[in-house]
Amino acid sequence: MSEPNQPPRILLAEDEEAMRTYLVRALENAGYEVDSVDRGTLAVPLLEDSHYDLLLSDIVMPEMDGIELAQKCNEISPATQVMFITGFAAVSLRASADQPRAKVLSKPFHLRDLVMEVDRVFQDRKEASL
């Protein structure tokens, strides 16, 4: 987890530029530090070089989808939480040894709902560490 006085760090992987811009703005306005990329293959080196508290990833992206990215994230940085955003409501994810458990938020969603879910991830994590 980030240092006590540092805001939680989020890595956002979203291929749709307008959505990425809105999400970054909403999360930064809520007090989070956000780095964003437009594909999973660009997220991997960031996960290797920096610490992130949360990976927020679209599921359907070019080059590397969000599921593959989450698996890579789990290998590189197992302490990083994962949350998916997707426009495909029918996508269902089951936890398994090679697929980390993750919250799924279906598009369209209100930015307020996204921030609330992200806040909940960090609140649950904080309570679990007490």
Residue 119's CATH number: 3.40.50.2300
Q: What is the secondary structure of 83-118 as a DSSP string?
A: EEEES-TT-----BTTB---EEEESS--HHHHHHHH
Kindly state the helix (H) or strand (E) to which residue 128 belongs, with its residue range: helix 111-129
On whether the CB atoms of residues 77 and 52 are closer than 8 A, the answer is: yes
User: Has residue 78 been placed in a domain?
Assistant: yes
Q: What is the pTM of this model?
A: 0.84
- The DSSP call for residue 5 is T
- Compute the distance between CA of residue 8 and CA of residue 33 in angstroms, rounded to an integer: 6
The tens-digit pLDDT sequence of the chain (130 residues) is 555 678 999 999 999 999 999 999 999 999 999 999 999 999 999 999 999 999 999 998 989 999 999 999 999 999 999 999 887 654 545 444 444 467 788 877 888 888 999 998 888 777 776 6
How many domains is the chain partitioned into structurally?
A: 1
**Does residue 85 lie within any of the structural domains?**
yes
Could you list the residue range(s) of the whole structural domain that residue 73 is in?
Answer: 9-129
* Residues β-bridged to residue 85: 58, 105
